[in-house]
A and B are shown apart, each in its own frame.
Chain A
Amino acid sequence: MKTEQLHHRDHFKNAVYPSPFHSRQKEHNQLREWSRWSDYLSVPAYWCESMEYFSGRNACGVFDLTPMIKHRVSGPDALPYLNRLMTRDVGKIKPGRVGYSVWCNEQGRVIDDGTIFHLEEGVYRICSQEHQLDWFLTNTLGFDVKVVDETHEVCGLAVQGPTSCAILKQMGLAGIENLTPFGMASFDFEGTRLMISRTGYTGDLGYELWIDPDHAEVLWDRLFEAGENRGIRAMGSQALDLLRIEAGFILAGADFLPAQEAVRPTHTRSPFELGLGWLVHFDKGVFNGRQALLEEKQNGSRYTLVKLDIDGNKPAKDSFVYTKDKKYAGTVTSAMWSPSAKASIALASLEAPHGQVGEELLVEIYYQRELKWSRVMAPARVVKDNFWDPPRRRQTPPADF
């Protein structure tokens, strides 16, 4: 099925579109539940959130990425344009490579995060959570560059988990095993170009497959055929959320407020306040937020985003975080019981000066058992490493599962 033609004059009559994979998602969607993700219908869970999570960790989970917002940046000034837009040095992302980045407003607050695909010399794709066309076009003043929103021209599947590489090999994608993390490769596929990047949002071995919407269904079919004996499963957004928290990945709208959506500017966060200082490259020249971030670097940040290892087994959803002497320290932004780490884990935004690795804190968790609410002040500590970080994530070629 093709993507909806959004330039069609009646496009406004539909607020949400079926994804190009919709016919196949429908077959797998035993729960018959649909949610909205940007412009598309998405599946929260196909049959069981937990089992889908385990597919992603122990076999292969397939997630429809089409609703991710995609912008294409090209033209002679594409690189200087991106370097002024992004906090990181985009020049370090060579053609055929992918890099993670954030972009900020003038106050140095994060507008969004995303991945930059250097498709070919001077042509980039930026995948992000939020529509950015207005901001990206505002940024073109003074640059010879073309920016288009190509969200609806490209659809994508995340193929994540230990058997993902083997499945793609089974599909006949020769040499896929040689792709290094954050690398890209193109394949002839059913008369079109299939682009595969070794990227993902699960912190595990995994790939993302990008193709034109006309070939969405055949891609799905060939993938599931190839994965039949390797535990392939369609995976919904709830399972993906669990996988990304374990991997320590932040989510716009959950772990930070996109700066352009903020009514209260103080509620936004800088890259430093999200633990992303490593993405801020002051030595590359002017970029949006540079002046504010330099000042922040000198004067200190207001917040830190930390990983918490919490005692007990209650997910610390929406919890307040306190110091040991019960002074307010911050709030949890994402939390779960991690089946892989066998721990209650959380991402939390703490007020400075809290958040030193090893700091002992208390997390106030409200939980319910058969409609009865209880509260526990669970001891927790700030940890440095990701809760899930297997060596296979980086191994090339990956072991055959």
Chain B
Amino acid sequence: MINSQHTIVIGGGHNGLVCAAYLARAGRKVTVLEAAGQVGGAAATREFAPGFRASVAHLLYLLDDGIAKELALASNGLKIARANLETVALAEDGNHLAIGVDRVDGGGLSQEDKAAYTEYRRFMSKFAAVIGALHNQVPPRITQQKSDLMALGKLALKIRLLGRDDMREFLRIAGINIFDILQENFDSPLLKGALSLDALLGTFSGPRSNNSVFTALHRMSGNNGGAAGALSVPAGGMGAVTEALATAARQAGAEIRTGASVSRIVMDGVRVCGVELAGGERLDAGTVVSNVDPRTTIMELLGMRHVEADFARRINNVRSRGNAAKLHLALDGLPDFRGVSPAQLGERLVIAPSLDYVERAFNPCKYGEFSPSPVAEITIPTIHDPSLAPGGQHVLSAVVQYAPRELKGGWAEGKAAFTQVIMEMLSAYAPDIRDRTIATELLTPEDLEKEFRMAGGHWHHGELSLDQFLMLRPVPKSAQYRTPVEGLYLCGAGCHPGGGVMGSAGRNAATALLAQASAS
């Protein structure tokens, strides 16, 4: 007899843990099954070289305040080592630009650009709040039902309340590309390049790609510690966030099993009845919630034969081509980034010197090649938290684009070559970087896909775009976290509102599941 009250959460990433915590708080019997030896998925802190630790997701900017509060993450061990990081846009000549949430300095910036930046921050923050307001709700469906119509009405009202001019501007830019918006507002190539990067990290797009304003807004849509899009570094790396979530889930009564890799979802006729682990062990459950991305969940864990063909086709068409590689360097000391003061070295350093540079970096990936001159987002977390490396030594953590999941010739061949390209690029800014490097880890999208079960190695579990957002994410008939398969739910970043260590997808999934359970 299946225990219909038992819920299994596949995957102990942040969303899986959030979902488990909320379900357990509501009195459900929950077991989280995590394949790795520790919870956290791509938001875990892991050792990549003896004594050196880093997190694949290395900055916190979207974590939902409400979740942090409700699950008492601070008292469960989460400490922020450094909040409100600035961004240093690196210039090869050392004339860098420092970009904060309310000011921008250096780089020979004109007064006009400085003023324009204030205005840019104003409207982008305002628009991002419209998107952010959608995060903590189960997306409405396109029906005549009152609750759905009300939710859509609320969104329309939110947009209308921007005021006439801002509403007009929001509607004008929300679907277009960041290149045009930056060109309209700024002169400095360095500023434009750096700002464009926030629209493009983790996506399959360049500055001129449509939809890149939306991704920029999405990145700023969090309310993490105040200003829109503010960046912080947790003490102990991102793993501290997921460990705190795990503690909260356990306190609420959830069981968490690590080293438990689910090989398939087991069906009894048309409904889910449990999961099978890689070792062959079967676990019964009336409800299975998958933190694994939707494509992998349906196509591999469940099997297409258990869903109707139209749904299968839509799932198969979810765009999920990862493009971001992750570099971890173990350093024997702080590197010397030319022109970057010691105080600035702990900020976020970005290499995106101009819009055309970024666009050119994007071009090759369309044809299955990596960028010969990549763009990068670099942090040195050990400056804020020395515990991540042996005494006096450091970790450099960088998101590097563009590295297409499907590389011509394959990543087995390409990995060493791309590592060379990245080291070459870093050397141009920090000439001693090679000498300081003790160990290197490059995680390609292929590695990310394999290690964290993210289709395409895409950190949003599916491209984040208007056509894959809200009631279209991942696809209709599962955008409310409930799949067409009886008893199977999704709770990961592949669902609304996407990735970025937010937790909202996990909480929304729990809300949807509990509402469904009380309705039936």
Q: Which A positions have Cβ atoms within 8 angstroms of B?
A: 77, 80-81, 84-85, 105-106, 135, 138-139, 141-143, 283, 285-291
Distance A142 CA – B306 CA, assembled complex (angstroms): 10
A285-B269, A291-B484 given; A142·B305 CB < 8 A: yes
| Interface residue B312 (Cβ < 8 Å from any Cβ of A) | yes
CB distance from B307 to the nearest CB of A (A): 6
Residue of B nearest to A143 (CB): B305
Known: A106-B309, A141-B304, A291-B308. 16 other contacts (CB 8 A): A84-B308, A85-B309, A106-B310, A106-B311, A135-B309, A138-B309, A138-B313, A141-B316, A142-B303, A142-B304, A142-B312, A285-B269, A285-B306, A286-B306, A286-B485, A290-B308
**Segment 370-389 of B: residues with Cβ below 8 Å from A:** none
Q: Is B270 an interface residue (CB 8 A)?
A: yes
**B269 to chain A: closest residue by CB:** A285
**B309 and A288: CB pair below 8 A?**
yes
Min CB distance B371 to A, Å, is 32
Q: Are A143 and B308 in contact (CB under 8 A)?
A: no
Interface code B427-461, partner A: CB below 8 Å = 1, 0 otherwise? Answer: 00000000000000000000000000000000000
CB proximity of A105 to chain B, nearest CB, Å: 7
Q: Is B80 an interface residue (CB 8 A)?
A: no
Closest residue on chain B to residue A139 by CB atoms: B309
Instruction: Name B287-316 residues within 8 Å CB distance of A.
Output: 299, 303-313, 316
Instruction: Identify the closest chain A residue to B267 (Cβ).
Output: A285
Complex Cα distance A47/B310, Å?
A: 46
The residues of B with any CB-CB pair to A shorter than 8 Å are: 269-270, 299, 303-313, 316, 484-485
Chain A neighbourhood of B307, CB < 8 A: 286
Residues on the B chain within 8 Å of A105, using CB: 310
B309 with A141: CB separation less than 8 A: yes
Could you tell me the distance between the alpha carbons of A106 and B303 in the complex, rounded to whole angstroms? 18
The 5 closest A-B pairs by CB, nearest first: A142-B304, A106-B310, A139-B309, A288-B308, A141-B312
How would you classify the secondary structure of chain A's contact residues: helix, strand, loop or mixed?
loop
CB <8 Å contact, B270 and A285:
yes
Could you give 15 example pairs across A and B, Cβ below 8 Å? Answer: A77-B305, A105-B310, A139-B309, A141-B309, A143-B305, A285-B269, A285-B306, A286-B270, A286-B485, A287-B308, A288-B308, A288-B309, A288-B310, A290-B270, A291-B308
Contact partners of B309 in chain A: CB under 8 A: 84-85, 106, 135, 138-139, 141, 288
Partner of B308, one of A77, A106, A283: A106
Which of A138, A142, A291 gathers most chain B CB within 10 Å? A142
- Of chain B, the residue at the smallest CB distance from A290 is B308
Task: Assess the B310–A286 pair: CB atoms within 8 A.
Answer: no
Assembly CA distance A286 to B272 (angstroms): 12
Contact residues in B for A143 (Cβ distance below 8 Å): 304-305
Closest approach, in angstroms, between the C-beta of B268 and any C-beta of chain A?
10
In the complex formed, the residue of A with least CB distance to B300 is A142
Q: What CA separation (Å) do A192 and B101 show in the bound complex?
A: 81
Q: Taking the nearest CB of chain A, how far is it from the CB of B463, in angstroms? A: 20
B299 partner residues in chain A, CB cutoff 8 A:
142
Residues in chain B near residue A77, CB distance under 8 A: 305
What's the least CB distance linking B483 to chain A, in Å? 11
Chain A residue with Cβ nearest B302 = A142
Chain B nearest Cβ from A109, distance in angstroms = 12
A143–B299 alpha-carbon span in the complex (Å): 11
Which residues from chain A contact B485 at a C-beta distance below 8 Å? 286
- Most chain-A CB neighbours within 10 Å: which of B303, B309, B310? B309
In the complex, what's the smallest C-beta–C-beta distance from A167 to chain B, in angstroms?
42
* Contact residues in A for B305 (Cβ distance below 8 Å): 77, 80-81, 84, 142-143, 286
Chain A residues with CB under 8 A of B311: 106
User: Cβ of B310: which chain A residues have Cβ within 8 Å of it?
Assistant: 105-106, 288
- For A84, the chain B residues whose CB sits under 8 A away are 305, 308-309
Bound together, the chains give a CA A283 to CA B269 distance in angstroms of: 8
Identify the closest chain B residue to A83 (Cβ).
Answer: B305
| Docked complex Cα distance between A157 and B15 (Å) | 61
CB distance from A297 to the nearest CB of B (A): 14
Shortest Cβ distance from B482 into chain A, in angstroms? 12
**Docked complex Cα distance between A283 and B268 (Å):** 12
Min C-beta distance of B467 to chain A, whole Å? 19
| Smallest beta-carbon distance B260→chain A, Å | 25
**Complexed CA–CA distance, A32 and B269 (Å):** 56
Chain A residues closer than 8 Å to B484, beta-carbon distance: 291
Per the bound structure, the CA–CA distance linking A124 and B303 in Å amounts to 23
Question: How many angstroms between the C-alpha atoms of A286 and B311 in the bound complex?
Answer: 12
Please determine whether B308 and A289 come into contact, CB atoms closer than 8 angstroms. yes
Separation of A141 and B311 alpha carbons in the complex (Å): 11
Quick check: A141 and B313 within 8 Å, CB to CB? yes
CA separation between A143 and B312, bound complex, in Å?
11
Q: Chain B residues with Cβ under 8 A from A106's Cβ?
A: 308-311
Report Cα–Cα, A288/B312, bound state, in Å. 10
Contacts of B269 in A (CB 8 A): 283, 285
